[in-house]
Every structure is written in structure tokens, then in C-alpha cells.
Amino acid sequence: MEFKEKQSIYIQIADYICEQILLGQWPPGERIPSVRDLASSLEVNPNTVVRSFEYLQGHDIISSQRGIGYSAAENAFELIKADRKERFLETELPEFFKNIYLLDIKLEDLQTRYDKFVATEYSSTT
């Protein structure tokens, strides 16, 4: 995972975990990788992963069971999707609209590229 400088690493890890849940890699109720396993695979300090897990627990996206570990909450998919949708609509979409207006990009062109992107990037996850 390549980290961005403008955002805390623990938030980026939390976003990564959320993405895995949205992609169905870590389904609700099933165990997600341990702190050590995730820290090792992402090459970060385990304390950073603990902070990510605490953040996600605080948002009811994951839960911990003694002796079992962490798992995605039953409604994690809906919570993540609602949060990300709101963030996108409030922060990224206005900039996107400005750019397509300034560059005179047609909606038909966007639809064609979107369809191609989905077919290429997510065909194996559906």
C-alpha cells in the first residue's frame, strides 16, 4: 500500500479496510486480519493498525470478540457506503463537475469510460 502524505496513515488504513469490506473480501461477521497480520502486510507499526481498528470500532464498522479477533459489523457495508457517498458528494463531486465543465467533456463520453472502467476493474468482483 502506498500512503499519501496529506492524510494520517491510520485513516488511510481504515479506508483500506473499508474498501476490502465493500469489495466483499472481508464479509460481515467473518474475521478480518489480525493487527499483526495487517501491520506486517502493510509494513506499518502495529500501533497504527490498532488506532485504525479503534477508529472503525468507534464508527461501528468493525467489532471485536475476545479470543476471536475483529470482524466487520453486520451493517458495515451500509455504514461505509453511506459515509463514502456523503464525502464524495460534498467534497469530490463539485471539483469533478467544475473540471468536466471547463474541459467541455460530454456526459456520453463519461458514460462510455465509466462502463469500460467497471468492466475492466470490477468484472471479477461481481
3-state secondary structure the chain: CCCCCCCCHHHHHHHHHHHHHHCCCCCECCECCCHHHHHHHHCCCHHHHHHHHHHHHHCCCEEEECCCEEEECCCHHHHHHHHHHHHHHHHHHHHHHHHHHHCCCCHHHHHHHHHHHHHHHCCCCC
Domains (ranges, CATH) in the chain?
9-76 (1.10.10.10), 85-121 (no CATH)
Q: Report how far residue 125's alpha carbon sits from residue 117's, in angstroms, rounded to the nearest whole number.
A: 13
Q: Name the one residue in this structure whose C-alpha cell is 459515509.
A: 83
Dihedral pair phi/psi, residue 102, rounded to 5°: -65, -35
Q: Report how far residue 79's alpha carbon sits from residue 14's, in angstroms, rounded to the nearest whole number.
A: 13
Band (pLDDT 50/70/90 cuts) for residue 123 is: confident
- List, for residues 28-63, the tens digit of each pLDDT value: 989 999 999 999 999 999 999 999 999 999 999 999
pLDDT of residue 124: 63
Q: Report how far residue 53's alpha carbon sits from residue 6's, in angstroms, rounded to the nearest whole number.
A: 20
- List, for residues 58-104, the tens digit of each pLDDT value: 999 999 988 889 999 999 999 999 999 999 999 999 999 999 999 99
126, pLDDT greater than 70: no
